[in-house]
C-alpha cells in the first residue's frame, strides 16, 4: 500500500530530497537532476516568482517546452500558493492571449525568443535562468490556510474552448493514491516515466504528479517530428512507463517487427483520453507489449478506472472497474437525476474527495455537457455499469448524432472503420441533413486506400442506421491543443472531395 501525507503538493519533492537526495528525479538529454538538486531548484524558483510579484491565488500560464525548468517552475508555483496553468507547448500567440484573458492570468512563463501573451508580468525563461536563480536564498513556501491551495486543469476543449476546472491540492493527492494503489506497475522498484510531451494534458500532468509523489524518475523527452524517433527512444529504456493517447498508440503498432514485440522490456504502455477499440488493444498487446493499461478519467476526477491486459481480454468493451476509495461514489443517473440500476444506460456522475469543485468561469457550468450539479460532477459521458462492476462508455453526450428517431454515438462507427487495414484515423460527426443529422465520416487513409473497399467494410459491419452517409478523406484530422479530435471543426469544415456511401 502506497501512502503519503503532504499539505502542499510541492512538499513531495522536498520529502524525497531528505530521504533519498541522490535518487534521480528528472532526466533531460544527458542531464540528470537528483531529488536533492530538484528541491533546491524549486526553492530558488519559488523565491524568484515571489520577487517577480507572483503571490497566492495568482494564475500563471506555463507555456514552456518539456524541460527541467518547466517542472521546477510548476512545482514552485504550487509552493508559493499560486495557480499554474499548464498550456500546450505549440499554442499560438493568439491562443496564449485567449487563455490569459479567459483565466485572468497575472503572468505567463514563456521561453525567450517566443511571442508570449499580453499579461501584467511576462516572465521569459532563457538558457541562463538557472544560473540567475542559483544565488537566491530563503524559501517562499505558502504559509496560509492549506484549504486555499488549488489547481486549475484545462478540459480537453473537444467541444469548444477549454474550461478551467478547480480542485484542491488534497484532491489531487487523493487521485494519486487511487492511481498508484490500483495499478500493479507502480509496485516494486522505481520505473522511469517517459514523458513525450509537456504536462499540458490531464494524462501527462497526472502521471508526472504520480511519479514525483512517490519519488521515481521522470524522463523529459523532446518533441519528435517523426513517430519512429519516439519509438526508438522508448524501446531503448528498460522497465519504462510510457503514457500515450490512443491515436499515438495505434501509430506505434505500425512500427512493430514482423515477429516479436516493439517494446519487449516495457513495464507499462498507458493509454487515456478516449476509449480504445478492443481490436486496437489486442493489436497493442500482440505487437507492442503485453503490458497495456487503459485509464479513464478527466480533469474533474483524475483517473476513475483502469483496466489491465487480462481484464481487457475478458471485458473488451469496458474501461475497467471504478477504483475503490473511501468516500468516492460512482453512479449512472437518469434524466430525472435519480440513480439507475446495473446495466442501465444513463449519465455518468462522480462525487467524493477526488472530485473538483467548480469551473473557474461560472458560465462554463451551463456550456456543454460537462458540469457540476448538487455536489456531483458529470463528465458528459453516457455509460452503464455491468453486474460485475465494469464501466462501459457508450459515448459523449455532446457527440450524439440524432438521425430520424434514434440517437447514435460515433465511437461504435469509428471503431468499426478503424478495423479496416486501409484506415489510419477516423472520426464521425453529425451534420445537418434533410431528416435530422447525416452521419458523416472523416478518414485518414493509408497509401493505396480505396473508397469502395471502405464502403463495403461499413456495409458488412454496420446496420443501415449506423452507416455513414458520406465519407470525407483528409490528410490529417484537426486536433485540439490536448491532442483530441476537434469535432467542432469537423462539423463546419467545407465538404469537398466527399464520397457518398
Which percentage of the chain shows pLDDT scores above 70?
97
The residues near 11 (Cβ < 8 Å, ≥ 6 apart) are none
Is 70 exceeded by the pLDDT of residue 72? yes
Same domain, 305 and 362: yes
**Dihedral-angle region of residue 366 (phi above 0 means left; psi in -120 to 50 means alpha; beta otherwise):** alpha
Average pLDDT, the chain: 92
**Structural domain contains residue 200:** yes
Q: Residue 442: phi, psi to the nearest 5? A: -115, 125
Is 70 exceeded by the pLDDT of residue 55? yes
The reported pTM is: 0.91
Same domain, 200 and 322: yes
Helical axes 11-19 vs 202-214, angle rounded to 10°: 30
List residues bridging with 406 in a β-sheet.
403
Question: How many angstroms separate the Cα of 18 from the Cα of each of 12, 13, 39?
Answer: 10, 9, 9
Q: What is the DSSP string of 126-156?
A: -TTHHHHHTT--S-----S-GGG-EEEEE--
Distance CA(69)–CA(38), nearest Å, equals 10
**Structural domain contains residue 4:** no
- More confident of the two residues 183 and 160: 183
Side-chain half-sphere of 314: how many Cα atoms within 13 Å?
A: 8
Average pLDDT over residues 293-314: 94
Residue 497: the pLDDT is: 54
Domain count, the chain: 3
**Structural domain contains residue 117:** yes
Same domain, 392 and 405: no
What does the block give as the cell for 355?
Answer: 472530485
Residue 492: the pLDDT is: 83
Residue 49: the pLDDT is: 98
**Structural domain contains residue 94:** yes
Domain end (from 363, 397, 431): 397
Residue 499: the pLDDT is: 54
Same domain, 65 and 118: yes
Give the confidence band of 160 by pLDDT, cuts at 50, 70, 90: low
Give the confidence band of 90 by pLDDT, cuts at 50, 70, 90: confident
**Structural domain contains residue 76:** yes
Same domain, 16 and 46: yes
Same domain, 389 and 460: no
Residue 313 belongs to a domain with what CATH number? 3.40.50.12780
Nearest to 427 by CA among 462, 397, 468, 370: 468
Is 90 exceeded by the pLDDT of residue 357? yes
Distance CA(398)–CA(488), nearest Å, equals 10
Domain end (from 397, 419, 441): 397
Residue 26: the pLDDT is: 98
The residues near 67 (Cβ < 8 Å, ≥ 6 apart) are 28, 220
**Structural domain contains residue 449:** yes
> H/E/C letters for each residue in 240-299?
CEEEECHHHHHHHHCCCCCCCCCCCCCCEEEECCCCCCHHHHHHHHHHHCCCEEEEEEEC
Structural domain for 369, as ranges: 193-397
Contact of 133 with 120, CB cutoff 8 Å = no
Same domain, 212 and 279: yes
Exposed, middle or buried, 408 (CB in 10 Å: 0-12/13-18/19+)?
A: buried
Same domain, 366 and 227: yes
Average pLDDT over residues 286-312: 95
User: Which pLDDT tens digit goes with each residue over 21-51?
Assistant: 999 999 999 999 999 999 999 999 999 999 9
Residue 425 parent element (H or E): strand 423-433
Residue 23 belongs to a domain with what CATH number? 3.40.50.980
**Structural domain contains residue 348:** yes
Is 70 exceeded by the pLDDT of residue 425? yes
Query: Is 481 in a helix, a strand, or coil?
Result: coil
**Structural domain contains residue 182:** no
Distance CA(482)–CA(273), nearest Å, equals 9
Domain end (from 397, 420, 450): 397
Strands 218-220 and 24-28: parallel
Residue 76: the pLDDT is: 98
Same domain, 412 and 381: no
Same domain, 382 and 364: yes
Same domain, 364 and 273: yes
Q: What is the DSSP string of 341-380?
A: -TT--EEEEEESTTS--EESSGGGGGSSS-EEETTEEE-S
Same domain, 371 and 447: no
Give the confidence band of 158 by pLDDT, cuts at 50, 70, 90: low
Contact of 216 with 243, CB cutoff 8 Å = no
Residue 476 belongs to a domain with what CATH number? 3.30.300.30
Residue 496: the pLDDT is: 61
Is 80 exceeded by the pLDDT of residue 482? no
Q: What is the DSSP string of 19-68?
A: HSTTSEEEEETTEEEEHHHHHHHHHHHHHHHHHTT--TT-EEEEE--SSH
Average pLDDT over residues 439-458: 93
User: Which pLDDT tens digit goes with each residue over 262-273?
Assistant: 999 999 999 997
User: Which pLDDT tens digit goes with each residue over 372-424?
Assistant: 999 999 999 999 999 999 999 999 998 999 887 888 999 889 999 999 999 98
Is 60 exceeded by the pLDDT of residue 168? yes
Task: List for the chain the helix, strand, coil content (%; round to 5).
Answer: 30, 25, 40
Question: In this predicted structure, which of 62-66, 197-201, 476-480 has the lowest mean pLDDT?
Answer: 476-480
Amino acid at each position: 500500500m502506497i501512502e503519503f501525507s503532504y499539505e502542499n503538493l510541492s512538499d513531495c519533492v522536498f520529502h524525497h530530497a531528505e530521504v533519498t537526495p541522490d535518487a534521480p528525479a528528472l532526466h533531460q538529454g544527458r542531464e540528470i537532476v537528483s531529488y536533492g538538486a530538484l528541491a533546491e531548484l524549486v526553492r530558488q524558483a519559488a523565491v524568484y516568482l515571489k520577487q517577480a510579484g507572483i503571490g497566492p491565488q495568482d494564475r500563471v500560464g506555463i507555456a514552456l517546452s518539456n524541460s527541467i525548468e518547466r517542472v521546477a517552475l510548476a512545482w514552485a508555483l504550487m509552493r508559493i500558493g499560486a495557480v499554474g496553468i499548464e498550456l500546450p507547448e505549440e499554442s499560438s500567440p493568439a491562443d496564449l492571449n485567449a487563455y490569459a484573458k479567459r483565466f485572468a492570468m497575472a503572468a505567463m512563463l514563456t521561453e525567450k525568443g517566443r511571442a508570449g501573451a499580453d499579461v501584467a508580468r511576462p516572465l521569459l525563461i532563457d538558457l541562463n535562468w538557472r544560473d540567475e536563480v542559483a544565488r537566491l536564498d530563503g524559501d517562499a513556501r505558502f504559509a496560509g490556510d492549506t484549504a486555499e491551495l488549488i489547481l486549475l486543469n484545462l478540459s480537453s476543449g473537444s467541444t469548444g474552448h477549454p474550461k478551467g476546472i478547480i480542485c484542491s491540492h488534497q484532491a489531487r493527492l487523493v487521485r494519486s493514491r487511487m492511481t498508484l494503489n490500483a495499478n500493479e506497475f507502480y509496485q516494486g522498484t522505481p520505473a522511469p516515466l517517459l514523458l513525450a510531451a509537456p504536462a499540458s494534458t490531464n494524462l501527462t500532468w497526472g502521471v508526472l504528479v504520480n511519479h514525483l509523489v512517490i519519488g521515481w524518475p521522470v524522463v523529459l523527452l523532446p518533441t519528435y517530428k517523426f513517430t519512429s524517433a519516439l519509438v526508438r527512444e522508448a524501446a531503448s529504456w528498460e522497465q519504462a512507463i510510457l503514457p500515450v493517447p490512443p491515436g499515438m498508440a495505434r501509430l506505434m503498432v505500425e512500427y512493430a517487427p514482423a515477429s516479436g514485440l516493439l517494446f519487449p522490456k516495457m513495464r507499462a504502455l498507458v493509454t487515456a483520453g478516449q476509449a480504445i477499440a478492443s481490436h486496437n488493444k489486442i493489436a497493442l498487446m500482440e505487437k507492442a507489449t503485453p503490458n497495456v493499461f487503459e485509464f479513464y478519467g478527466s480533469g474533474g476526477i483524475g483517473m476513475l478506472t483502469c483496466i489491465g491486459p487480462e481484464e481487457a481480454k475478458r471485458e473488451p468493451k469496458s474501461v475497467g472497474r471504478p477504483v475503490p476509495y473511501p468516500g468516492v461514489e460512482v453512479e449512472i443517473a437518469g434524466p430525472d437525476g435519480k440513480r439507475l440500476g446495473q446495466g442501465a444506460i444513463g449519465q455518468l456522475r462522480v462525487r467524493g474527495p477526488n472530485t473538483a469543485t467548480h469551473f473557474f468561469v461560472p458560465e462554463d457550468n451551463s456550456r456543454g455537457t460537462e458540469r457540476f450539479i448538487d455536489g456531483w460532477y458529470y463528465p458528459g459521458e453516457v455509460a452503464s455499469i455491468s453486474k460485475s462492476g465494469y464501466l462501459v462508455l457508450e459515448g459523449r453526450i455532446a457527440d450524439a448524432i440524432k438521425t430520424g428517431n434514434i440517437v447514435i454515438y460515433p465511437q461504435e462507427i469509428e471503431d468499426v472503420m478503424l478495423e479496416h487495414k486501409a484506415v489510419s484515423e477516423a472520426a464521425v460527426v453529425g451534420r445537418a441533413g434533410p431528416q435530422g443529422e447525416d452521419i458523416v465520416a472523416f478518414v485518414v487513409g493509408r497509401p493505396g486506400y480505396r473508397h469502395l473497399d471502405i464502403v463495403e467494410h461499413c456495409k458488412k459491419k454496420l446496420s443501415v442506421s449506423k452507416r455513414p452517409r458520406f465519407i470525407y478523406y483528409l490528410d490529417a484530422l484537426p486536433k485540439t491543443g490536448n491532442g483530441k479530435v476537434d469535432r467542432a471543426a469537423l462539423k463546419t469544415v467545407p465538404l469537398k472531395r466527399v464520397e457518398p456511401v
